[in-house]
């Protein structure tokens, strides 16, 4: 049986779409026939994303409430929103609790928690329109295994991503009874151009060392596949929490370096 979602072009909003997981996700949705709206801060990267893909773009800093309101207003001109992928986020620093910079912690809470909350609040009316249009709608947030497993040097990021995890858990309860799925995707080690580089303040050597001699770390495309799959499942199926790690990573603090071999 053909569903409404199969019969017409659905619309998805992907944040953090200028690079990494967000960019890969936006491109994959477009390949699957979705109308994609990519949101990020960097106009030049968004222009490159839009080139030849048909992806619409909105330049915005989602830590600014006025910018979130503008995103909401721009999206209103496009029509219903069928899915929201909250991917924008980041980690800043690896300091201990004792020596961590409060500015880094504030920045992590702003982008990983408060911006996610504000965008969900702003777009819920459009998502409800999407649910009426297609039978259901989706809110998916990319967190991290750091939301579920502590590791030394990760306290600020652990706390921020745990906050995002609980935000999604509470939202799922609050939206119960509505045909809106609430999904969390929690990746482990994903090798992208920017995540570790940003975390280590642009120190290329430290960033590269994270993935040194790790057999087949995950790539952005791997997470994009999981995101698109979760949202394209039939509307009565909800993947509450999807945890994804490379085989070489048993936990945040336990990564096997070197070849994986049977005993």
Q: Looking at the chain, which runs of residues are DSSP E strands?
A: 11-15, 35-40, 56-59, 83-86, 137-142, 180-187, 190-191, 218-219, 241-244, 249-251, 254-255
Active site residue 157: yes
Q: Roughly how many angstroms between the first and final C-alpha of the chain, as a whole number?
A: 48
d(Cα 263, Cα 248) in Å, to the nearest integer? 15
Q: Which of 34, 105, 157, 195 is catalytic?
A: 157
d(Cα 88, Cα 107) in Å, to the nearest integer? 12
DSSP code at position 214: B
Chain CA centroid to CA 183, Å: 11
Known catalytic residues?
157
């Amino acid at each position: 049986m053909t569903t409404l979602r199969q019969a017409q072009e659905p619309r998805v909003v992907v944040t953090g779409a200028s690079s990494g997981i967000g960019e890969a996700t936006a491109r994959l949705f477009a390949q699957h026939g979705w109308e994609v709206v990519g949101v990020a801060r960097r106009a030049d990267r968004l222009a490159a994303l839009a080139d030849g893909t048909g992806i619409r773009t909105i330049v915005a800093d989602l830590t600014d409430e006025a910018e979130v309101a503008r995103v909401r207003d721009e999206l209103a001109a496009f029509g219903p929103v069928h899915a929201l992928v909250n991917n924008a986020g980041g980690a800043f620093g690896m300091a201990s609790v004792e020596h961590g910079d409060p500015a880094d912690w504030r920045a992590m809470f702003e982008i990983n928690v408060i911006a996610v909350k504000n965008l969900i609040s702003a777009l819920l009316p459009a998502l409800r329109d999407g649910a009426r249009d297609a039978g259901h709608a989706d809110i998916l947030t990319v967190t991290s295994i750091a939301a579920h497993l502590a590791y030394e040097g990760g306290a600020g990021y652990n706390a921020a991503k745990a906050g995002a995890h609980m935000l999604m858990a509470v939202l799922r309860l609050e939206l119960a009874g509505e045909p809106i799925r609430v999904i969390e995707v929690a990746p482990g080690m994903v090798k992208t151009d920017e995540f570790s580089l940003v975390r280590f303040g642009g120190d290329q050597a430290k960033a590269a060392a994270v993935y040194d001699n790790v057999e087949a770390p995950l790539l952005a495309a791997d997470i994009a596949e999981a995101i698109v799959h979760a949202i394209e499942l039939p509307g009565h199926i909800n993947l509450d929490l999807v945890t994804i790690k490379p085989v070489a990573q048993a936990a945040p603090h336990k990564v096997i370096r070197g070849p994986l071999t049977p005993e």
